Structure 1
Amino acid sequence: MKTFITFVLMISASVGIAQTEIKGIVKDSKGEPLPGVNVFIQNTYDGTSTKPDGSFSFSSDETGDQILILQSVGFKKQELSVQLTGEPIENNVTLKESIDQLNAVTITAGAMEASDENKAVVLKPLDIVTTPSAMGDVVGALQTLPGTSTVGNDGRLFVRGGDASETAIFIDGLKVGNAFGTTANNVPTRTRFNPNLFKGSFFSTGGYSAEYGQALSSALVLNTVDIPVRNQGDISLMSVGGGYAQTLVGEKNSLTASANYFDLTPYQSLVKQNFDWERSPHGWDASISARQKWGNSGMVKAYLHKESSGMEIWQAEPGVDGKGSLVKIKNDYTYAQSSFKQIGKNDWSYTGGLSYSLNKDQIKLGGLDIVQQTELFHAKGVAVKDFSPAFSTKMGVETYWSGYEQSLVSEDLSRNFMDQQYNAFIESDYYVNNQLIFRGGLRSGYSKLNDELWIDPRASVSYKFRSDGQISFAYGTFSQLPEERFRVVDNELGNTKATHWILNYFHSKNGRTFRAEAFYKGYDQLLTFEGDVQFPEQLRLDGNGVAKGMDFFFRDNKTFKNTDFWITYSLVDSERKFGGYQTSVQPGFAPLHNGSVVVKHFISPLKSQIGMSFSMNDGYTYTNPNIPGEQNSKTKSYQDLSLSWSYLPKPNLIIHLACSNVLGRNNVFGYQYASETNDNNLFTGMPIQQGAPRFLFLGVFLTLSSDKKANQLNNL
């Protein structure tokens, strides 16, 4: 018995000697104690959690070299090598915050996401379709966002004092040439692409990524749908035409084919027009979209779009009796692209592709028979490397081949040019922590035609407050070659320049979003010329200007049940010397005050969504030659109240009715004047008005699928 007791005491003594006490304090990088941190020996049950003061203490029976692990949500796991000998060990540890991409700060200066996948959603793809004033046009919906101006006699996208040519449009990162349909002077146009094609967009009002170039004001990046959810056929019957689309979906691929036809002749025979049509706008389009999953983490897409359209219109001339001049336009357009994305090994990912645009216009104006043809080829490759959760770099190369030809058929005269551009860019993001991010980049370019090399730096920083709000600052320089119609006159024209400074505050929480932004944009080397824009002479890059101001955006889909609304206001103070102007002027496409209100309310018992949008600005400047100066006059304010009603009697049937300018306001966008004075020694003026007091759209959309529950909205 004595021997047994001695043996037990010896074992107890040896165990006591083997136990090691481990203690310490855990703090964050600011020196604040961290409670609830898990502290334990690797591959054992020995451990504890830190107390409210950050302290911990526990004992372990392990001996020798071990790994002490400390981990907590929101912080980087830390591993410490310790040697357990029975002697007490004390470790005071500082944990660094980890980068949680779902909660981390993002760059918001000049940037507005329109994607279901982004936590800072401003517009969802469905908003593009259901905004009453948009009439189903992507750009029409974007015109309700801050920084944009509504120019009703044009229809394209004007951003922060810049003209429409200063905005570049990309699909899956590839540039689209001639993204808007060809039209006659003062007849508004719209984008060529169906919004159902896209799952989201990135719309920049300035300070955008070094990945994109050749745009002084804005980049609009549209991202196409990946694999649709099911097989379905979509029939569209509209007041202006109709179409059909068929989608076939496999396990790893899909194919969508569509065709549409429109003719405004029946509609415009019923609704009074301010235009004198000889042949109303008409045309057709067809497209094919194919998608194929590539391996476990890749995707390949191909898209082909073909369309043809035409119109014939009599355009009155101020001071001239009669119908005026007959303008005939025939347009043929082709756009094709193939893109890919692939997640590689060792935290590399890759995207890229090819795109081709071909636009041909045949225009008959008076005695002139004009043919214009534009080609654009774009090839691009991008690689992204995540060196750590806190640091990543994007780098890429691309090339553009652009050509333009202009011919007078009856005179057998033509002129053209072909240019090759080569670009490279690099951009890095560094997360200091979840609250602070820096972004810096460089974009370089070279034009073979005018033998010019340029480098544009870009930089951003953003800080997120504990209250969920964040503040961002962005700076960048941007280069853009003049429009083709001017480069064909002088092939050696170089880049125009713009410098952006942007300060942004953004807050999004509980279904409410608030965004405020101040900006300053300086222009240099703007194109100026003598004579008329149709026949410019003495082209120079000696213009300049500024655009400065602020804008506000508020969206709320929580305060009122089944109601979503947003309010926008923009102040754009722009003056520039450009084009045929001899002095610095406020451009006619850049009103000082711009605002919009959009409201959508869903009425469940009626299976209906009612929409309202109101847009306004303080008027457009123009030059009245009867008084001294340039841009010396201003129109009355522009106002448009639009309403819409979407009715879903069955899940697969949508009836959509929309009406623009419900109040029938006579909006004027400027005046045209005769080139010579009348008997009273005055220049006769003629207002530039919108095409009709109102535009009424009625569409019936029927989806055919096996479950009879799908509709055309499930592709958005």
Structure 2
Amino acid sequence: MKKGLLTLVFGLSSLFLSAQTLLKGVVTSTTGENIIGANIVLLGTYDGTSSDLNGEFNFSTTETGKQVLQITYIGCDTLSLPVELRGQPLEFKFKLKETVNELNAVTIVSGVFEASDTKKSVVLKSVDIALTAGAVADITGAMLTLPGTTRNPETGQLLVRGGAAYETRTLMDGLYVQNAYNSTTANMPARNRFSPFLFKGMMFSSGGYSAEYGQALSSALILNTTDVVGQNTTGIQLLSVGGGLSQQKRWENSSLSVSGTYSNLSPYFKLIKQNFDWKQAPTSGNAELSFKTKTSQTGIFKFYATGSSNGFNMNVAIAGDESQKMPLKLSGENLYTNASYRDIVFKDWTLFVGSAYSWNRDKIRQNFDLNTLQQSAQTRFSLSHSLSEQVKLKFGAEHIWSLFDEKYTEGQTFTTLHPDNYLAAFAETDLSFNDKWLARVGIRAEHSSLLHKGNVAPRLSTAYILRKGEQIALSFGQFYQTPEHTQMRRSTAVGFEQADHYILTYQKQAEGYVFRVEGYYKKYHNLLKTTGELPNNTGYGYARGVDLFWRDSKSIKNGDYYISYSFLDTERNYRDFPVQAMPYFAAKHNAAIVYKHWIHKLSTMLSATYAFQSGRPYNDPNTTQFNGSRTPVYQDLSVTVSYITNIKDNFTVLYLAANNVPGFRQVSGYRFSNTPDASGQYLGSPIVPPAKRFIFLGLIMTIGEKFEKNQGNNDDI
């Protein structure tokens, strides 16, 4: 119902476009043995496959011109071969050399789930994010099916291992995304701003992440955009909530994509009953531009820009009295740009330089006026170099200028103005002791001009292979973050908040199967307390638990499923908490089952997701225990159907998504009146979604392209 819905069906079309060039061949070892399950891909695209039982492979692509074909396999050197695609079949014979010091043979897995289109040993693929039922192409919605996360339907944001939403940071090509979600208000779910089809890889770190990144107490969501991709296409989207246009132009070494979308939920709300009293249904508009060019055989420059606006107007029920309402109006505007350059310099050093700029303005009107302007400008560089087969070094630095400018008016005006210059530097070394044992040692130093304070944060991770496809890993790290600006309105004379992570992971992986269990302990220090006259860093807390993950993409022909479960025990005393207690955004038990199935004869993709979550805490003023009450359990069963066909020889995708099909009652908490009634009771109102169900229907047509019936296969899911 927002930009992500409009880009979803357009992105799906890229998975099935008609073939132009056939690539086939065989992959063997240097001793002549067939290699089963080697990964063969065209870099920067979704095109590729895996070698079969005979080491053979074949796939078709619509790419043209000069490309790079990459072959990877665990325990072997990666092979990259320049190819030129002209529409004629190409045949290859590859021999992969085994290497005992290849870092891919043993990898740091503690706290990390990775989605990638170019790595063999990843847990998910990028397309998994797009096709997860219930997410409707929202990156965050898909991540919430992974272990370690907690669903907060009233916010739509990513919460990890007992951490609040602000404790997770999103990065795009290594650069900070200031406002990762669209503008919204309390108890109205938001969506991630970006389409999953922008990215060739996504790394979700639920803790213990690299010293390369900072300013996140709990988690980092690291998004890496595709390289030069695609061909000349024009896309038209006709959707139940709006529409869009897109144009993509491809040259030999460059590509340019532009798109625009618009959504208006008014017609939809007239058909589907809503729980909210809308005066003006949500509307949004978005424009996007992406340019990429290969500067050399090893270098690439990327530029991305997006601008959007959204808003709504509604009557909000007063807490405890649904018959009394007050108006609430929101308007939001956002601009984000990102530019980066990567190349090999000085023969064997990898250089990365990048910059990003964010601008976001939100206006909220109720019985008050709240105007919030946020800006940030970042520059960043890093250098990495393999000193030997056993030692790899990476170091870098970044500067972020940011401004938080808030004006609150209710009779009189209160202004909060927070300018900050944040400086950070890091160094990290990968040490390969042998073919089974790898360690990563890092350190990060930071300073904030707003807080007038700095910190030094050590990080350590190590992994050991027990046997083929089976390893254990251990991570420790200290992580710091500047407190939220809204909690420092009265004073900025505070320090960084801190969390210490301890993570132990066991993972077993075979062709088509992944099993993973992870235990963790997180200790919070110096959290902000706001119960005194001025805020201070006397808050504290902990989070501990166990995460389980199982994936099977082999047992069911053309089927793929995974199961995740998390147990969480967490308490904290921060902000206005009178005592240490489990926070309202946490749940003790979380589980999800995700299934995808490709029906070849019908050219149809089916996907279903079931999610369960135990009750979350809320504070009932009619009881004596703080946060002692619990919401009902949360359940959701969502399905999607994607049908691929041609309309007048033009490639077409029909997409249907339905969330919460059984109509489970989903309560995220309760709002209570500020004063008791005549009997001394505080009346409460449940916090529920805007509607019991959400149904979305879309059609995308790519003019000039044609779907070939034999194109879809199990690799597409």
Note the 1:552-567 alignment, pairs <5 A. Answer: 552-567=548-563
- Residue aligned with 2:507, SS: strand
Task: Using the TM superposition, give the Cα deviation of residue 709 of structure 1 relative to its aligned residue in structure 2, in angstroms.
Answer: 6.4
Residues 53-81 of structure 1: CA deviation (Å, up to 9, x unaligned) = xxxxxxxxxxxxxxxxxxxx9899xxxxx
- Residue aligned with 2:178, SS: coil
Please point out which of 525, 529, 542 is paired with 1:546. Answer: 542
| 1:251/1:495 CA distance change after superposition, 3 Å | same
Amino acid in structure 2 at the alignment position of 1:440: V
Task: Using the TM superposition, give the Cα deviation of residue 277 of structure 1 relative to its aligned residue in structure 2, in angstroms.
Answer: 1.0
| Structure 2 residue aligned with 1:184 | 185
Amino acid in structure 2 at the alignment position of 1:631: N
Note the 1:510-521 alignment, pairs <5 A. Answer: 510-521=511-522
- Contact 2:401-2:419 at 8 Å conserved across structures: yes
| Structure 2 residue aligned with 1:261 | 262
- Contact 1:231-1:705 at 8 Å conserved across structures: no
- Would you say 1:677 and 2:676 are equivalent positions? yes
- Residue aligned with 2:663, SS: coil
Residues 266-322 of structure 1: CA deviation (Å, up to 9, x unaligned) = 111111111111111101000111001112210000111100111112111124464
Separation in 2, partners of 1:256, 1:487: 41
- Would you say 1:418 and 2:422 are equivalent positions? no
- Contact 2:651-2:705 at 8 Å conserved across structures: no
Amino acid in structure 1 at the alignment position of 2:695: L
| Structure 2 residue aligned with 1:62 | none
| Structure 2 residue aligned with 1:404 | 404
Amino acid in structure 1 at the alignment position of 2:356: S
- Contact 1:196-1:715 at 8 Å conserved across structures: no
Separation in 1, partners of 2:712, 2:164: 34
Task: Using the TM superposition, give the Cα deviation of residue 236 of structure 1 relative to its aligned residue in structure 2, in angstroms.
Answer: 1.8
Task: Using the TM superposition, give the Cα deviation of residue 652 of structure 1 relative to its aligned residue in structure 2, in angstroms.
Answer: 2.0
Note the 1:41-440 alignment, pairs <5 A. Answer: 98-101=99-102, 103-320=104-321, 322-366=323-367, 368-408=368-408, 411=412, 413-440=414-441
Task: Using the TM superposition, give the Cα deviation of residue 708 of structure 1 relative to its aligned residue in structure 2, in angstroms.
Answer: 6.4
- Would you say 1:657 and 2:653 are equivalent positions? no
Separation in 2, partners of 1:699, 1:709: 21
| 1:712/1:628 CA distance change after superposition, 3 Å | farther
- Residue aligned with 1:134, SS: coil
- Residue aligned with 1:449, SS: coil
| 1:426/1:693 CA distance change after superposition, 3 Å | same
| 1:587/1:525 CA distance change after superposition, 3 Å | same
Separation in 2, partners of 1:556, 1:603: 18
Separation in 1, partners of 2:490, 2:562: 45
Task: Using the TM superposition, give the Cα deviation of residue 178 of structure 1 relative to its aligned residue in structure 2, in angstroms.
Answer: 1.0
Separation in 2, partners of 1:250, 1:305: 22
Separation in 2, partners of 1:506, 1:321: 50
- Would you say 1:694 and 2:690 are equivalent positions? no
Q: Greater CA radius of gyration, 1 or 2?
A: 1
- Residue aligned with 1:538, SS: coil
Residues 547-579 of structure 1: CA deviation (Å, up to 9, x unaligned) = 000101111110011100000000111111112
Task: Using the TM superposition, give the Cα deviation of residue 712 of structure 1 relative to its aligned residue in structure 2, in angstroms.
Answer: 14
Deviates more, 1:706-715 or 1:647-656: 706-715
Residues 202-228 of structure 1: CA deviation (Å, up to 9, x unaligned) = 110000000000000000001111111
- Residue aligned with 2:130, SS: helix
Residues 429-473 of structure 1: CA deviation (Å, up to 9, x unaligned) = 011122110100000001112211100000011001223201000
Separation in 2, partners of 1:74, 1:646: 37
| Structure 1 residue aligned with 2:55 | none
| 1:712/1:338 CA distance change after superposition, 3 Å | farther
Task: Using the TM superposition, give the Cα deviation of residue 705 of structure 1 relative to its aligned residue in structure 2, in angstroms.
Answer: 3.9
Amino acid in structure 2 at the alignment position of 1:187: M
| 1:563/1:438 CA distance change after superposition, 3 Å | same
| 1:712/1:287 CA distance change after superposition, 3 Å | farther
- Contact 1:209-1:458 at 8 Å conserved across structures: yes
- Contact 2:75-2:105 at 8 Å conserved across structures: no
Note the 1:33-44 alignment, pairs <5 A. Answer: none
- Residue aligned with 2:674, SS: strand
Separation in 2, partners of 1:708, 1:232: 14
Separation in 1, partners of 2:346, 2:322: 72
Please point out which of 642, 645, 657 is paired with 2:641. Answer: 645
Amino acid in structure 2 at the alignment position of 1:170: L
- Contact 2:529-2:536 at 8 Å conserved across structures: yes
- Contact 2:619-2:626 at 8 Å conserved across structures: yes
Task: Using the TM superposition, give the Cα deviation of residue 619 of structure 1 relative to its aligned residue in structure 2, in angstroms.
Answer: 1.1
- Residue aligned with 1:268, SS: helix
Separation in 1, partners of 2:231, 2:634: 44
Q: TM-score, normalised to structure 1's length?
A: 0.84
Separation in 1, partners of 2:455, 2:716: 41
CA RMSD between the two structures? 2.4
| Structure 1 residue aligned with 2:7 | none
- Contact 1:703-1:712 at 8 Å conserved across structures: no
Task: Using the TM superposition, give the Cα deviation of residue 200 of structure 1 relative to its aligned residue in structure 2, in angstroms.
Answer: 1.5
- Contact 1:128-1:195 at 8 Å conserved across structures: yes
Task: Using the TM superposition, give the Cα deviation of residue 229 of structure 1 relative to its aligned residue in structure 2, in angstroms.
Answer: 2.7
- Would you say 1:666 and 2:662 are equivalent positions? no
- Contact 2:320-2:671 at 8 Å conserved across structures: no
- Would you say 1:568 and 2:564 are equivalent positions? yes
Please point out which of 630, 634, 643 is paired with 2:630. Answer: 634
Task: Using the TM superposition, give the Cα deviation of residue 98 of structure 1 relative to its aligned residue in structure 2, in angstroms.
Answer: 4.8
- Residue aligned with 1:525, SS: strand
Amino acid in structure 2 at the alignment position of 1:618: S
| Structure 1 residue aligned with 2:579 | 583
Please point out which of 585, 605, 610 is paired with 1:609. Answer: 605
Separation in 2, partners of 1:318, 1:214: 35
Task: Using the TM superposition, give the Cα deviation of residue 707 of structure 1 relative to its aligned residue in structure 2, in angstroms.
Answer: 6.1
Task: Using the TM superposition, give the Cα deviation of residue 660 of structure 1 relative to its aligned residue in structure 2, in angstroms.
Answer: 0.6
| 1:635/1:412 CA distance change after superposition, 3 Å | closer
Residues 234-274 of structure 1: CA deviation (Å, up to 9, x unaligned) = 22222111111111011111100010001111111111111
Task: Using the TM superposition, give the Cα deviation of residue 343 of structure 1 relative to its aligned residue in structure 2, in angstroms.
Answer: 1.4
Deviates more, 1:459-468 or 1:406-415: 406-415
- Contact 1:358-1:373 at 8 Å conserved across structures: yes
- Contact 1:228-1:715 at 8 Å conserved across structures: no
Aligned length: 621
Amino acid in structure 1 at the alignment position of 2:372: Q
Separation in 2, partners of 1:659, 1:677: 40
- Contact 1:255-1:288 at 8 Å conserved across structures: yes
| 1:599/1:74 CA distance change after superposition, 3 Å | closer
- Residue aligned with 2:102, SS: coil
| Structure 2 residue aligned with 1:501 | 502
- Residue aligned with 2:224, SS: strand
- Contact 2:488-2:535 at 8 Å conserved across structures: no
- Contact 1:103-1:434 at 8 Å conserved across structures: no
Separation in 2, partners of 1:550, 1:272: 39
- Residue aligned with 2:129, SS: helix
Separation in 1, partners of 2:330, 2:401: 26
Amino-acid identity (%): 37
Residues 652-710 of structure 1: CA deviation (Å, up to 9, x unaligned) = 21111111100001111111110100011100011111111101011111122466669
Separation in 2, partners of 1:603, 1:715: 11
Task: Using the TM superposition, give the Cα deviation of residue 493 of structure 1 relative to its aligned residue in structure 2, in angstroms.
Answer: 2.3
Separation in 1, partners of 2:474, 2:347: 32
| Structure 2 residue aligned with 1:65 | none
| Structure 2 residue aligned with 1:84 | none
